[in-house]
Structure 1
C-alpha cells in the first residue's frame, strides 16, 4: 500500500479529521475566552455555535469512512446544510472581527446566503424524495444542488470581502477551502472515486484551511491583548507613557543604582494656543513636542505625559549631562514647532525618591516659567532649591 492509498482511505480521513478537531477545539477555547472577556458577545456567540457543528461533522466523517457504517441520507442532508451554514457564519465572524468599526460590513448578503441554503435543500429534497428513506454508505452521499451551491457560496464570500480589508491569510484560506471542495466534487461527480490522489487532497486540505483560520484568530487575540496592554501604559494622544507607567520606568532606572535625572517640560502659552487656533491645532503641537522629547530620550531613558501640556523625561546621566539633553529639547521645540517650552530638571543627587525628583523638576520648571519662559533651569540653582535649603 502506497502512502497516497493509505491517506485516501479511512486512516487518511481519521488523520485529517483528528487534526481538524484539535484545531477547532483550540479555536473554541479561544472563542469562549473572548466571549467572557469582551463586550461584543454576539460575534463570539456565533463562533461558539458554528465550531461544534463542524466538530460533529468531522466526527461523522471519521465514522462513515470505515466500512460497515451507514447513515440516513436525510440526516446527512441535514448535516450538509449545517456545514454550509457554519461556513457562512465563520466567515462572517472573521470578516466582522477584521473590519474596522467605521466600515460597516453588510449583513444582508450573509442572511440571503443562509436562506438560500434551505431553499436549495428544499429543491434537493423535491428532486430526490424517494432516496431519503433509504440508508446508504458514505460513498453514496451526493447532493448536487447543495454541493455546487457550496462553491457558489465561496465565490459570493470572496466578492463580499471587498468591503473588508482582510489579510492575505484569509484569502488563502478561502482558496484552500475552494480547492478542497473542488477536489471532492471532481472525485465524486467526474471521476467517481477512481482517482485516489484527488480524494487525498480533499481530505488533507481542510487541515490547511482550519490552520489558517486558527492563525487568523490567534493573531487577532494577540492584537487585542497588545492593544489592551498599550492602552494601559500609553497616553492615547501623545503616544508617550502615561503618568503611572512613567513613574514605574523612572523607579526602575533609579533602582539600577545609576545616576539619573528627570526633566520636566511645560509648553508656554498653551491655553492661548488652544483659544486662538483651536483644540485640533493645539493637539498637533502637543504631539510634535512629545515626539521631540521621545526622540531625545531614546536610548538613554523614557518619556511620559504628566498631564495636560506637562511632559516628562527620565534619563540615565552616566554618559550624558542632563542640562545638555534638556537644552537640546528646548532648542528643537523652538526651532521645529510654533511654540516654546519652559524646562526644569532634577537629578538623583538631589533626591533618591522618584516622586520627590518629579516635584523638584516641576519647581525648577516653574522657575523657568516665571522668569521669562523658554529656558532650562536645574533644581539646584532654582529659587525653590535655595528656599528649601534655607
Structure 2
C-alpha cells in the first residue's frame, strides 16, 4: 500500500488519462479499419489495444509492488513490442506496406526476443537484485536503439514530421528517466517515477493528434478528389453545375465563360494523346491564373473548360480575351470562347447552355475568338 500521495495518485492519475486517450484512439482507428480496411488502421488498433493493456498491467504491478523480476522483464518486453507496432502503424498511415516492411518491423521484435534471453542468464557476483538489473540491461538499452532507428528511418517517409519527432523525443526522455531512476536511485526517486508515468501521457496525446490530423487529411483528399478533375485539377462538371445553381438561386450577377480547344482531335491524332493532355493542363492553368480571384474554373467534358465569373467588377469579355490571347501566345493551341451573363428568370443550366451556344458560334465563324451570347 502506498503512503505517499505522489506515489499513490501519480500512477493512478496518469493511467486514467491514458485510458481516456487510448480508448478514443482505439475507437477512431477501429472505426476507420471497419469502414476502409486499410492495414495501417488495423496495426494502429492492435498496437493501441496492446498499449492500453500494458498500461493497466503496469499500474497493477506498480500498486502491488511487483514491478521487478519477471514482471519488470515482461514490462520491458511489452514496451518494445508496443513501440514497434505503434511505429509500424504510423508508417502505414502514409505508405503502402510490402512484405519486406513487415519483415523489418517484426525483425525488430524478434531481435528484442533474442536479447531478452539474457534475463534468464544473469551475471554471477553481487546481490540477486543487482544481477537481475544487469540481466535486463541489454533490453533496456535496445529501446534506445529502437528510438533512434525509428526516428531516423520513419521521419522522412511520413507527414506531420514535427509531431513524430516530438513523440520520439518524449519516448527518449521517458526511457532516460526510467533508467536513471532504476540504475542510479534503485527506483526510489519519486519525481523520476512521475516522469515515467506522465511523459507517456503527453506521448499518447501527440499520437492522438497525429492520428486525428491524418484522418482530416484523408477526408480532405477524398473530398477534393470528388469535386476536381484528375487531369487538370480544376473543378469537375458536377461541382461546377452545383456552384452555378447556388449563385443563380441568390440572384447574383454572374457570368459563364465556355471555351473549347480548337482542332483538339487533330492534335491528338498527329501528336498523340500525351500532347493533348499536356495542352489541356496548360490551358486549365492559364484559365485558373486569370480567374483565380474573380471566379472558379471547371472542366465540362473533353476539351471544354468553363469559368463561373462571380466578381461583378470584372468584365467577362475582357477576361475571356486575356485568356484567349495568353493561350495563343504561350501554348501551341488556340481556343474559341463564348460567354453569357445572368438575367432574371434564367436557370443555371440555361445560362451554361447560352455560353455554350456563344462558344459554338465562335467555333463556326473562324475559331480563336470570343463571342458574347445574343438571343
Give the TM-score range, shorter chain.
Answer: 0.7 to 0.9
The alignment covers a number of residue pairs equal to 364
Partner of 1:89: 85
- From 9, 12, 21, give the equivalent of 1:11: 9
CA distance in 1, matches of 2:345, 2:69: 82
The answer to whether the aligner puts 1:338 opposite 2:332 as a matched pair is yes
Tell me the secondary structure at the aligned position of residue 116 of structure 1. helix
Partner of 2:237: 243
CA distance in 1, matches of 2:42, 2:93: 13
Please provide the CA RMSD for this pair.
2.8
CA distance in 2, matches of 1:362, 1:209: 57
Do the aligned residues in 1 keep the contact of 2:43 with 2:88 (CA within 8 Å)? Answer: no
Post-superposition Cα deviations, 1:275-331, rounded to whole Å, max 9, x if no partner, equal 333333322221221122223323332211101110011113632332222222212
Partner of 1:313: 307
CA distance in 1, matches of 2:66, 2:37: 44
Moved over 6 A (4+): 102-105
Query: Where do 1:1-390 residues align within 5 Å?
Result: 7=6, 9-40=7-38, 42-66=39-63, 68=64, 70=66, 73-74=69-70, 77-99=73-95, 101=96, 106-127=101-122, 143-161=136-154, 164-165=157-158, 167-316=161-310, 318-349=312-343, 352-380=346-374, 385=375
**When the two structures are superposed, what TM-score results if normalisation uses the length of structure 2?**
0.88
Do the aligned residues in 2 keep the contact of 1:13 with 1:61 (CA within 8 Å)? Answer: no
**When the two structures are superposed, what TM-score results if normalisation uses the length of structure 1?**
0.85
CA distance in 2, matches of 1:21, 1:327: 63
Do the aligned residues in 1 keep the contact of 2:334 with 2:368 (CA within 8 Å)? Answer: yes
State the Cα distance separating 1:102 from its structure 2 match. Answer: 10
Tell me the secondary structure at the aligned position of residue 101 of structure 2. coil
- Can you give the 5+ residue segments of structure 2 that lack an aligned partner in the other structure? 124-128
Do the aligned residues in 2 keep the contact of 1:105 with 1:163 (CA within 8 Å)? Answer: no
1:94–1:286 CA distance, 2 compared to 1 (3 A) = same
Say which is worse superposed, 271-280 or 217-226, in terms of deviation: 271-280
CA distance in 1, matches of 2:267, 2:246: 36
Do the aligned residues in 1 keep the contact of 2:256 with 2:341 (CA within 8 Å)? Answer: yes
